[in-house]
Structure 1
Amino acid sequence: MRRVVVTGVGVVAPGGPTREDFWQRIVDGKPAIRRVTAFDPTAFRSQIAAEVDFEPSRYGLTPRVVRRTDRFVQLALAATGEAVADSGLAELPDENSGDRRGVSLGSAVGSSITLEDEYVVASDHGRDWLVDHRHAMPFLYQSLVPSSAATELAVRFGARAAATVVSTGCTSGIDAIGHALRLIQDDEADVMIAGAADAPITPITVACFDAIRATTPRNADPERASRPFDADRQGFVLGEGAAVLVVEELGHALARGAEIYCEIGGYAARANGFHMTGLRPDGIELGDAIVDALDQARLNPDQISCISAHGSGTKQNDRHETAAYKRSLGDHAHRVPISSIKSVVGHSLGAIGSIEMAACALAIQRGVVPPTANLETPDPECDLDYTPQVAREVRVDHALSAGSGFGGFQSAMVFSRVEEVAAA
């Protein structure tokens, strides 16, 4: 089996435009949540979000690129640029270099900003049922087709192996990295640009989550509104962002002297076949995914050093997830530090899984477990160690990340310190 490692990390997230800004923000447990500025949110139940202060020109994105691409693609391009630079790879490989590079990008809602904006224009704010296509932008088709995002990355970074978009709701980020893992294991590529991006802070997305009361109405206190596992939580906070990892075959990385963050030890996904938005309280499917990922990594439950939780801040998810950890990890579930960075950067739908995996890679490299911000009064039904408010210095040999998404998607991934795996 070809081994796969992480050699580059790029993050564009709320509270900072770079990987280091992101890391400092989550370690400090300082939420980057505020009243929505992308549009007037007055009419909505939930009026807050975790927004990215994003300036495309900072990342070398020209006005032409900005004109033809949705914000989520721009975020992906920016994060990929940082990840590729961090990895030490040439930004554009020579045709004879043998660099078999591919793309696996996740997104839950794709070009939702562009599609909504253009519908508003073409329909004259919804007045006209029969719209005139001549009023829409010339690049509308590229926004309609999610695969255009992978194409943009492939062209920009010289990826000639598979270029794929993975859309599995809120587990898209983990699943995109998992897809990249499988392609390298199957010898279809040596290097993969893998991660996810989403920019869902639009009126229609906010209205949809308002309708099912999934997002918090705690508008008067934005920084304390995202409260995973807390008894006083009222729902999740919508976010946006992107994280991209450069993942490559171990021998390829060693041959070029790359710095290695960690190894992808295992990945598994399940579907609950139960309900579009509902979760079984016993957490059986997520628990099964965790057990499968651990088996692939050849790890016992008590070898997990920390967990990056899905931790959305809804009662249904937090209790479901707690049950899944108890089911899959046994007694060790009560000893391992678990944290939710959604308390700081919000829930960016498909992007958050890759952002959380970036946090796992950095935790292994730096020996710190970020806290769950705003966890003041734990829910008695969430009785595990959810690392309240303060980061911990912990040697992280094996990090687990779990994700849960509308549609019944349940995914888990294990990252491991390379020398520990090699010695096993």
Structure 2
Amino acid sequence: MTRRVVITGIGVLAPGGIGTTAFWNLLSSGRTATRGITLFDPAPFRSRVAAEVDFHPERHGLTSLEVRRMDRAAQFGVVATREALADSGLDLAAFDPYRIGIAMGTGVGAISGLDTAYRVASDEGRIAQVDHMYAPGHLYDHFVPSSFATEVAWAVGAEGPSTVVSTGCTSGIDSVAHAVDLIREGSADIMITGATDAPISPLTLACFDAIKATTALNEEPETASRPFDATRKGFVLGEGAAAFVLEELGAARRRGAHVYAEIAGYASRSSAFHMTGLRPDGREMAEAITVALDEARLDPGDLDYVNAHGSGTRQNDLHETAAYKLALGPHAHRTPVSSVKSMIGHSLGSVGSMEIAASVLAMEHHVVPPTANLRTPDPECDLDYVPLVARDHRTDAVLTVSSGFGGFQSAMVLARPDRRTA
């Protein structure tokens, strides 16, 4: 029998507040955490808004040595993990450390640390042949994304399977799916998983400026992220992390754990179409959704809510709308859909895990978070995109999706365990 895997602990570090409670309060109130960039001077750039995390690592238990060693994204991951572990009620010291694994996702790795190191070593770009003696001593760890999993493993004492999944903007779903597989196949009993990214840096901003993917609504930072809205101008860059404790359903029930949700189905597909473009028919996303529903043994009509990728670009919004219609049929028009990126921005690889957290919390509270800033609906995006205000709604099964450059499309179905047959 396939082992059923559930979430028993959640930790979130997001724009608008640290911790799962602050995260849910932001989403359920429909408030936005987007603002003008404060982490550096954004004046030279086309897009000058972002969703930043107000983060002081020492206040969250990180030592000065850890702060010096770890990139900002690694710090996010460790802090989110500690909250998830405390939430789960697990005492990992009672487990065989070789049966505890790590699967962390990231889209751009330690980009903020690399950006800072390069600016120092190159004298703000004035020196072409940099002197490595000026580089920080932990630069190697910033170059190797696997250091994220290492830091989390050290933080919890895990000595089992350990990996970093980096598949662009689908990393936050794909890492959790990999963790599920490791439990199902018997390689681990406990998995710490999720994703972290801190991409708000001059280098990242310059890259997205070049292809005009990020918004130019700099005079209206609080409303600049506008998924499915006819006035949208691109996505708003964000940052943050979400972490989860996963375990087998029977074991969780035996110890009396609070089970948030079962990870019931998952699939990933790629269009192999274009580096940044999407097919307008949404066929590859629709295929991922269909396969994830099949694995979950649920029909489209069983879904109570869809947590959209909803980046706020016209291309993505049309692609997603088409995919939902193709995969869900008539139920696409009956199922509430919303994008939390309207409130927390797009943190690249980590946002998929943050959206899993949002989906689970929607199930926990039976509330569908809104799509903030959706005041002028795009007539081509004609589904129920829950504009502006959260909605009380019985939510027992949720679909969450992610879409990434290169044509990657991932879909995950979360459900209450009693919603499914064994």
Per the alignment, residue 197 of structure 2 pairs with 198
**Preserved contact between residue 297 and residue 420 of structure 2 (Cα < 8 Å):** no
Name 2:62's counterpart in structure 1.
61
**How far apart in 2 are the matches of 1:258 and 1:264?**
16
- Describe the SS at the equivalent of 2:3: coil
* Residue type of the alignment partner of 1:331: P
Corresponding residue number in structure 1 for 2:110: 111
Corresponding residue SS for 2:44? coil
Structure 1 Cα separation of the partners of residues 138 and 317 of structure 2: 40
Corresponding residue for 2:404? 405
Distance 1:221 1:122 in 2: 36
Summarize deviations over 1:222-269 as a string: whole Å, max 9, x none.
111100000010000000000011111112212221110010000100
SS where residue 93 of structure 1 aligns?
helix
Equivalent position of 1:301 in the other structure? 300
Give structure 1 stretches of 5+ with no counterpart: none
Q: Which residue of 2 is the match for residue 237 of structure 1? A: 236
Spell out the pairing of 1:24-423 with structure 2 (5 A cutoff): 24-90=25-91, 92-94=92-94, 97=96, 100-422=99-421
Contact kept, 8 Å, 2:227 with 2:342, in 1: the verdict is yes
Distance 1:98 1:277, change over 3 A: closer
Percentage of matched positions with identical amino acids? 59
Distance between the aligned counterparts of 2:98 and 2:420, measured in 1? 26
Asked if the contact 1:276/1:408 (under 8 Å) is kept, the reply is yes
Q: CA deviation at 1:99?
A: 7.5
Structure 1 residue 117: deviation in Å?
0.7
Q: CA deviation at 1:56?
A: 0.7
Secondary structure of the 2:215 match is: coil
TM-score (norm 2): 0.98
User: Deviations along 1:60-103, whole A, 9 cap, x unmatched?
Assistant: 1001000001000000011101000000012x424x65782111
| Letter of the 1:324 counterpart | A
Is the 8 Å Cα contact of residues 99 and 190 (structure 1) preserved in structure 2?
A: no
CA distance in 2, matches of 1:394, 1:245: 24
In 2, the alpha carbon distance for the partners of 1:348 and 1:170 equals: 8
Q: 2:17 is paired with a residue of what secondary structure?
A: coil
With normalisation by structure 1, the TM-score equals 0.98
Q: Which runs of 4+ in 1 moved over 3 A?
A: 96-99
| Structure-1 separation of matches of 2:45 and 2:112 | 17
User: How far off its partner does 1:58 sit?
Assistant: 2.1
Distance 2:375 2:128 in 1: 49
Counterpart CA distance in 2 for 1:26 and 1:14 is: 11
CA distance in 1, matches of 2:406, 2:248: 32
Deviates more, 1:135-144 or 1:248-257: 248-257
In structure 2, relative to structure 1, the CA distance for the partners of 1:98 and 1:148 (3 Å cut) is closer
For 1:1-52, what per-residue CA distance to the aligned partner results, in whole angstroms no more than 9, with x for missing partners? 1100000110000000110000010111100011000000011111000000
**How far is 1:406 from its partner?**
0.8
**Does the 8 Å contact 1:396/1:417 carry over to 2?**
no
Q: Which runs of 5+ in 2 are unaligned?
A: none
Contact 1:368/1:394, CA 8 A, preserved across alignment: yes
Mapped to 1, the partners of 2:202 and 2:79 lie a distance apart of: 25
Query: Please, which moves more after superposition, 305-314 or 154-163?
Result: 154-163
Q: How far apart, in 2, do the equivalents of 1:42 and 1:126 lie?
A: 17
Matched residue count:
421
Code of the residue aligned with 1:6 in structure 2: it is: I
3-state SS, counterpart of residue 336 of structure 1? coil
**Equivalent-residue separation in structure 1 for 2:105 and 2:370 (angstroms):** 26
Could you tell which deviates more after superposition, 413-422 or 187-196? 413-422
In 2, are the aligned partners of 1:338 and 1:387 still within 8 Å (CA)?
A: yes
The answer to whether the Cα contact below 8 Å between 1:44 and 1:206 also exists between their aligned partners in 2 is yes
